[in-house]
Structure 1
Amino acid sequence: MRLAFQHPWILGIMLALVLAEIGWRLRKGRGYDGSAAAASLGVAVGQAVFRPITGIATGAIFLLLADISPLQLSASDWRTWVAGFVAVEFAYYWFHRSSHTVRWMWATHAVHHSSREYVLPSAIRLGWTEFFSLGWVFFAALVLFGFPPTVVAVLLGANLIYQFPLHTEAVRRLPNWIEAVFNTPSHHRAHHASETEYLDCNFGGVLIVWDRLFGTFRAEPQDRTLRYGLVHDLDSRNPARIALNEWHRLLGDIVRARGVRERIKIALGRP
């Protein structure tokens, strides 16, 4: 979301969409949990505090990898951006999928899934510990393969901004050709569901094609509303507790485990 903070007009559009969604939900009688939305804002503020530290650390690693990469693609070549888009989408799919299937990574990503109401502010519930959870390794690999750090950073930022308007119930299904290729609010609602049959699906960022290719696609049910939030429900409005709760659970299990092997199994096992 760093691109949004660098360009105020993007924040203005986001705020306008949030206000429009509030009006829509109230007109439809769906209600709106203002305190949960405020908690999402609190989490986002904390994430904005930690993001510069993460950015400096990952930026330094990316520049180091760019220096030693045997292939140096040019950021001024449009083909680098086209190939970079596909590469970032592919890396994002595996990063996102791993964030759901490796508990060490889930401890950060669970923050994003903690809202029980599926509204636009839930999009900015992002974990504070992304550097610690090592998700950046997936994108560092792209730099090592020759993509300029700027290309990776810009495309990843655009990927995250694209996903902001996906976090709403106001937009139903889009035309079939869009639903077939792109990640949509319908696909992302299924991704955020906490019901067993919808766990670990629809990991794409801008595109949904990788999910269709690798068998992780699930279509949203058309006859009912899904249940959102975490399987282990977290009913809190405290941003710090929301951001750190899953780490508390994970580290507690690691401390109680016996032996190094069992501790590693817990950290790298499924949530």
Structure 2
Amino acid sequence: MPDFPNIILYAIPFFILAMLLELYITTKQHINTYKTKDAFSSIAMGLGNVFLGFASKTIVVLVFFWVYDNFRLFTIPVAWWSFILIFFADDFAYYWFHRVSHECRLFWASHVVHHSSEHYNLSTALRQTWSGSFYTFIFWLWLPLLGFHPAMILLQMSISLLYQFWIHTEAINKMPKCFEAVFNTPSHHRVHHGSNPIYLDRNHAGILIIWDRLFGTFQPELEDEKVIYGLVTNIKSYNPIKIAFVEWWQLLKDASTGRISLKHRLLYLFKPPGWKHDGSGKLSHDLRQDWLKENEN
């Protein structure tokens, strides 16, 4: 097995220094981006994710090796060109994982954690799920099936996660146009964290923004539409336990209470957030279309 370093652990000192630097820069720019309780909640969520990651990573590694050892179609060597291939393959997998996490409530129940802050800064990048790591890896199962070694897959997933840290900031306005055209940037990702109707469920990119441009989910940051961070209905809590599990509780409640059919109970798992069996709910698509009609002039 290739001996790749755990780059996330090595990056922890960088995370701390980067947050201190961002706090200094945004304070000088008079950008009120940090709130103490919110930042500590994000850090607590990140620490919980790391601790639970020891268990979830064991499951992921075992499943990846089971697929790789028993079902792989090819054997892709660990070489410079295979790292180029897995860079694009992993980023493609991440796009669809991220998009489905916004369009299917079963996945949203864990991903909502990352969007629960009403502030946007580098500490927000650390606000990670405590539950999703145990099942969202299914979006990457085709990689060991294709023949990529599990160690390569895990390394590239870590590289993607590391890249996405720096884009959680208001300290950087725009990157050069050529960079903005290809890569995910702070501007693109601010849109993704917006609760404004025009920004909902847009820009699902990991590293490359090309997937959003290709599959119709790209939305540029508008100069006259300041991003409002958080959820359509915010959690309003700094309690890490509540942040981690409130949407699971709400999902269970919606799917189990009331006199509804088994079909509708199951649909609560797979329909998008906002869906209601009686038609009273509004999806992000509906909110976006309403906004576009109101602002068409």
TM-score range, shorter chain: over 0.9
**C-alpha distance after superposition, 1:58-103 (max 9, x if no partner):** 1111000001224333342222211111110111100000000000
How much has 1:146 moved relative to structure 2?
A: 1.3
Asked if 1:6 corresponds to 2:9, the answer is yes
| Unaligned stretches of 5+ residues in structure 1 | none
Q: For the residues of structure 1 that align with 2:261 and 2:226, how far apart are their CA atoms? A: 44
CA distance in 1, matches of 2:82, 2:36: 43
Deviations 1:127-161 (A, max 9, x none): 100144x3111111211121111111110110011
Q: Which amino acid aligns with 1:248?
A: W
Structure of larger gyration radius = 2
| Residue correspondence of structure 1 range 1-271 to structure 2 within 5 A | 3-7=6-10, 10-31=11-32, 32-132=34-134, 134-256=135-257, 258-271=260-273
TM-score by length of 2: 0.86
How many residue pairs were aligned? 267
Query: 1:83 & 1:223 partners in 2: Cα distance?
Result: 39
Unaligned runs of 5+ in 2: 274-297
**Percent identical residues:** 37
User: Normalized against structure 1, the TM-score is what?
Assistant: 0.94
Q: Is the 8 A contact 1:93 1:210 kept in 2?
A: yes
Greater fraction helix? 1
Query: Residues 110 and 65 of structure 1: is their aligned pair in 2 closer, same or farther, counting only changes over 3 Å?
Result: same
Q: Is the 8 A contact 1:111 1:127 kept in 2?
A: yes
Check whether the contact 2:52–2:130 (CA below 8 A) recurs between aligned residues.
yes
Distance 1:52 1:29, change over 3 A: same
Q: For 1:239, give the aligned amino acid.
A: P
Q: CA RMSD in A?
A: 1.5
Contact 2:45 2:128 in 1 (8 A): yes
CA-to-aligned-CA distance 1:145-196 (integer Å, 9 cap, x gap): 2111111111011001100010000001111100000000000000110111
The offset of 1:120, in angstroms, is 0.5
Matches of 2:131 and 2:72 in 1, distance apart?
Answer: 31
CA distance in 2, matches of 1:219, 1:199: 12
Whole-angstrom distance in 2 between the partners of 1:61 and 1:159:
21
Contact 2:110 2:131 in 1 (8 A): yes
* CA deviation after TM superposition for structure 1 residue 259, in Å: 3.0
